[in-house]
Amino acid sequence: MPEVRIDKWLWAARFFKTRTLAAKACEMGRVEANGMRAKPARDVRVGDLLRVTNDGGEWEVEVLGLSEMRGPAAVAQGLYRETEAGKVRRLKVAEERKAAAGSWEFGRPSKRDRRELERFRGRK
């Protein structure tokens, strides 16, 4: 198996939950292969550099293995290796996102807090 469709590979490597989501990401330009936008039917080969943007962040990976079947997560992680620059960038963005989420220390307002807010805003 010298090459596999990129949407199948992204699904098998567990970057996307379904193959349809992987194909949509390709069509929307969220997947680049060797610096160029990738269509869903583009073939992936061992050694290709991929940049994938999904809910988990932006991944920059090198293809180490090919698979058309989705298997366990441990097997899927063996299909690629994340580049050092990509890993540093992704972790930095994750830290920034976590710091921004930390600004909501108090969580959801209680019923009493909500009523006070409504009174303050002049609604009741």
Helix, strand, or coil (residue 104)? coil
Pairwise CA distance, residues 9 & 116, whole Å: 53
- Which among 74, 24, 75 is positioned nearest to 52, based on CA atoms? 24
- Which among 72, 70, 75 is positioned nearest to 21, based on CA atoms? 70
Pick the CATH number of 1-82 from 3.10.290.10, 3.30.390.30, 1.20.1090.10, 3.40.630.30: 3.10.290.10
pLDDT tens, position by position, for the chain (124 residues)? 688 999 999 999 999 999 999 999 999 999 999 999 999 999 999 999 999 998 878 999 999 999 999 999 999 999 999 999 989 998 888 888 877 765 556 678 888 888 988 888 887 6
- Which among 82, 26, 28 is positioned nearest to 59, based on CA atoms? 82
Q: The pTM is what?
A: 0.77
Residue 75: partners with Cβ closer than 8 Å, 6 or more residues away:
67
Domain extent listing, the chain: 1-82, 84-124
